[in-house]
Amino acid sequence: MRSSLILVVLILPFVFGCDAARPTPRPQEVPDAVEVPIPEPVEDKSPEPETIRVEAAVGMTGKGQYDHGGGEKPMDIILVPVSQLFQARERIVLQQIQHAEDLYKAGHDNKLPGTHEEYMKDVLQGMPLPKLPDGHQFVYDPEKQQLMVEKPK
């Protein structure tokens, strides 16, 4: 009988888990009234997509970007002239914009307009601008007095 009692005492923790041999913790005392601060509603101030502005320059459309890596490849004979064609088109548009700015400055005390809307209306006067990649747009910066390309970061 004694050996069976010892056997039961040794086996019980394995049958009911190791926690069966531990004493149960006493519950802690909880105060009657607990003041829980109610958080104020938070406005959803999700940041708008960050953008950066760069000067409108050759390569702004992303067309014709070809890096031959310094070595000769079989496709260079086709890709290099195509790349240069797109770059030449962008150079021509940028020269037209520069000419329009110069004409505007000549009649306005050597100053460009103070807002983006005035610049688009008075300087560019509906001049066709190259199509930019999705998410990019032309923006006139009055502080720098420059046409910029605004694009996602």
Cα–Cα dist 118/114, whole Å: 7
Backbone angles phi, psi at 53, to 5 degrees: -115, 130
- Would residue 25 count as lying in a domain? no
Answer left, alpha or beta for residue 110, where phi above 0 means left and psi between -120 and 50 means alpha. left
Residue 50 is predicted with a pLDDT of 85
- Total domains in the chain come to 1
Give a yes or no: residue 26 inside a domain: no
Q: What is the span of the domain harbouring residue 109?
A: 51-152
pLDDT 10s digits, 63-121: 877 665 666 666 677 777 888 888 899 999 999 999 999 999 999 999 999 999 999 99
pTM of the model: 0.60
CA neighbor of 89 nearest in space, from 50, 117, 147, 129: 129
Does residue 18 carry a pLDDT above 70?
Answer: no
Asked, for residue 3, whether it belongs to a domain, the answer is no
**Inside any domain, residue 42:** no
pLDDT at 40: 67
Assess if residue 19 is contained within a domain: no
Is residue 7 one of the residues assigned to a domain? no
pLDDT of amino acid 129: 87
Residue 2 lies in a domain: no
Q: Is the pLDDT of residue 152 over 80?
A: yes
Query: Model confidence at 53, in pLDDT bands (50, 70, 90)?
Result: confident
* Residue 60 buriedness (CB in 10 A; 0-12 / 13-18 / 19+): buried
